[in-house]
Amino acid sequence: MLFEDKRRSFNFINTPAKITNINAIEVLDSRGNPTIEVEIIAEKDISFSFRKKKYKAWARVPSGASTGDFEAVELRDNDTNRFNGKGVLKAIKNIEEEISLLLLGKDPTKQRVIDQLMIRLDGTDNKSKLGANAILAVSMATARLGAMIKNQRLFQYINTLAVNTELEISRPFFNVINGGVHAGNKLAFQEFMISPRNGNFADKYRAASEIYHSLKKILENKFGRQATLLGDEGGFAPNDLVKPEEVFDLLLEAVKKAGYEGLVDFAIDVAASEFFVDEKYNLGIKDTEDNFKDIDEMIEIYLNLVEKYPLISIEDPFDQKDFEAFSLLRKKLENKNIQVVGDDLTVTNPSRIRTAIRKNSCDTLLLKLNQIGTVTEAIEALFTARSAGWNIMVSHRSGETIDDFIADFAVGVGAEQIKSGAPARGERTSKYNRLLAIEKKTNISL
């Protein structure tokens, strides 16, 4: 009888899940460089029995090539005998020893607590001790684990972490021409994107695919098959194009031939910090001759593009330290319904976002999880941007994996926009395919 009483008492206690194991391995990203995959295991007592239920979740972190000076730091080994110094064994050691020791026995459904514990353990402003790549891998896997334990889809669980913001299938921006540090061609601007505005997400995805293949045929016919070689993010990287106008003219042609004329907007990621030299912008940095422009001349280039093409979004038009130049462009674009996006300028960091708000530098935040290092801090950055009425564009990185976490994250936080590269290559389409599945299985729409 005493045993029966103890069992009943035990059965009705709702014991939390506890992390029992954290493992990490070195894997390769889409550029063939090492990154981190983490697996976290948790156990929870099953009601009305003495057995335990086991949960297992994973995450892989991306890596950027065009990285801002103010981003959280990914930890690399700097051992030139392995992966040209880009190995991540030090970060993995930090996960399996320091972070694991800290988190074993903790409840994985307490995302904020888990993230704050890791932040305090690191103790630096930029996560350079443990590595933002190490911390983010654990943070993302913890979120997946929490969703499993709560018996929710990941986007639903993230929605609870974001205090039940409105769910939304984000409008996609597809990178179809690569330049800058993402390609070996002559284009200084880093990304040329298309964003169909027809129908639901599935319709937009189909349109992007058809335009992408239309563009491929045009490039091959005009410049030969070498023009259809791909850049880091799956967009084409033709070597015959130098000016952005040449790219946009080809995009207009591709859109028309695919049957979507008048239904597609354009966007650019300038990544201007990458060609900011001696206080000027060298548009010829990848060409045989220099072509320096000052701030006023760059503004004139952007205004001309806006007047001539259906351009609705300009990302990182100036150097990452120049809040004032961003603000000048915003004033020039008043009443034109063109968004100015902060990436290297704001690096998903609430402090820099507040500065951009104060100086009226942007109206859209490019949100990259690995720029800040935890799911909790990314959500805090989003709230900071939202306080000023900004839009949110969730973003991949140029060095990606098949992990589709950001698709669920974008829907869960109600981000208006998302970019994940071209409508091609598995590490890019994994995110778009996940959005397609979410739209099909739910009543959420654009």
* Structural domain boundaries in the chain: 16-151, 171-441
> What is the per-residue pLDDT for 444?
80
pLDDT in tens, 135-174: 999 999 999 999 999 999 999 999 999 997 889 999 999 9
The pLDDT assigned to 125 comes to: 93
Provide the pLDDT for residue 9. Answer: 44
pLDDT of residue 10: 46
Residues noted as catalytic: 233, 368
Please say if the pLDDT value at position 102 is more than 90: yes
Rounded CA-CA distance 328/242 in Å is 26
Note the pLDDT tens digit of each residue in 233-290.
999 999 999 999 999 999 999 999 999 999 999 999 999 999 999 999 999 998 888 9
pLDDT of residue 68: 67
Residue 264 CB neighbours (<10 A): 23
Region 423-446: what's the mean pLDDT?
Answer: 93
pLDDT in tens, 386-409: 999 999 999 999 999 999 999 999
Q: How many CA atoms lie within 13 A of 61 on its CB side?
A: 35
Model pLDDT, residue 42: 98
Q: How far apart are CA 103 and CA 105, in angstroms?
A: 6
Beta bridge partners of 36: 26
pLDDT tens string 190-248 = 999 999 999 999 999 999 999 999 999 999 999 999 999 999 999 999 999 999 999 99
Candidates 3.20.20.120, 3.40.50.1370, 1.10.10.10, 3.60.10.10; correct CATH number of 171-441? 3.20.20.120
Q: How far apart are the first and last CA of the chain?
A: 59
What's the pLDDT tens digit per position in 319-376?
999 999 999 999 999 889 999 999 999 999 999 999 999 999 999 999 999 999 999 9
Residue 380 has pLDDT above 90, yes or no: yes
Question: Tokens 């000016």 appear where?
Answer: 243
pLDDT of residue 48: 63
- Give the model's pLDDT for residue 8: 44
Can you name the residues that pair with 392 across neighbouring β-strands?
365
| CA pair distance 375, 157, nearest whole angstrom | 12
Q: Do 16-151 and 171-441 share a fold?
A: no
Domain 16-151 has CATH 3.30.390.10: yes
Q: Give the pLDDT confidence score for residue 158 in this predicted structure.
A: 97
User: pTM of the entire structure?
Assistant: 0.94
